[in-house]
Amino acid sequence: MDETNLPEKKQFVRVDVTGKTAALWQSLRPKLIKAMTDVLDAVIDEEHGTTVREEMKQLTTALFDYAKANLARPGLENERIEAEVRRLYGQMEIDRAEARKKHAEAETLEFNNKVRRLRLVLGAAKALMVGEEGQEAVIFTAQITAFLETLENLGSS
C-alpha cells in the first residue's frame, strides 16, 4: 500500500511517565502499584469488613444512580427553574419601576427646592431694589416681579 495516499494520523498528547530515568521509574512502578493496592484493599469498615475498594465501588454506583435519577426527571426541575426565573424577572421589573418612581420623586423634590431658593434670592434682590432710585431699578424690579409670578404659576400647575 502506498503511504502517500493514507489519511493523516491525528496526534494526541503524549504523557511521559518514565521521568528523567527510565530505570528509576521501572524500579518504583511496582512499589507504587503495591502501595495503591494496599490502600484499596485496606478494611475501612470493621463492622461490615468492607475495603476501600468495595466502598468506592458502592459510592460510584450510588453516584451514577443519583445522576441517572436526576437526569430522568429534568422536566420537573426545568419547570421549577423556569418558574423561579419568571418570579425573579417579575420582581426585577417591580424593583426597576419602584426605582424609577423614587428617582422621579427625588428629582421633583430637588427641582422644587431649587425653585424655592430661586424665589428666595429673587425676593431678596427685589427687596434690596425697593430703596433704589432710577429707571433701571424700576425696570429690574418689574422683571423680578414678572419672573416670580411665572414661578408661582409653574408651581401651582
14-48 per-position pLDDT tens digit: 656 666 777 877 888 888 888 888 887 888 778 88
User: Distance between alpha carbon 145 and the CA centroid of its chain, in Å?
Assistant: 55
- pLDDT at position 13 is 65
pLDDT tens profile 71-94 = 777 677 778 888 999 999 999 999
Q: What are the cell numbers at 24?
A: 528509576
- pLDDT at position 84 is 92
What's the mean pLDDT in 130-141?
Answer: 82
What is the pairing mode between strands 50-51 and 43-45?
antiparallel
Phi, psi of 11 (to 5 degrees): -95, 135
SS3 49: coil
Please state whether the predicted TM-score (pTM) of the whole model is above 0.85: no
- pLDDT at position 80 is 85
| 130 half-sphere exposure, CB direction, 13 A CA radius | 6
- Domain segments of the chain as ranges: 15-72
